[in-house]
Structure 1
Amino acid sequence: MRKILAFVLTLFSLNLQAQQQIEMADQLRSDGKIYVVVAVVSIILLGILLYLIRLDTKISKLEKESRNENE
């Protein structure tokens, strides 16, 4: 019961924090620079995703070669 109560109270506190206005975000939005920030973050995340996909294919290829050598 205590864990459920703690979880519910945590959700309420997070909701209250999310309603506060952040001055930096408001300034970036009013200057139109928020789109630059979103674009840069999107490019970084896309680069990380592509790197992980490429790494996965290389690892899969090495695992396949290793299995073929052991047979």
Structure 2
Amino acid sequence: MAPNGVTPRTDINLVPLNAAAARLNVSTKTLRRRIADGSITGYRIGRLVRVDLEEVTERLLVTIPTARGAR
């Protein structure tokens, strides 16, 4: 357990913003906006910003409901 009482995750896959953006076909600016609004977590390592690829995929990919699915 970390000194602040939070158990650190060990399954985290940190990647650069440009790699995550390319994977999801969005801009790095979009990812920076989502970090700023708290939708996704950004991690600073020195001057570099990284994101957890699994978290970004989970939070940004949303299934669109259709009228056919409601029948």
Q: TM-score, normalization: structure 2? A: 0.24
Task: From the CA coordinates, give the structure whose radius of gyration is larger.
Answer: 1
Q: TM-score, normalization: structure 1? A: 0.24
- Higher relative CO (Cα under 8 Å, sequence separation at least 6) belongs to 2
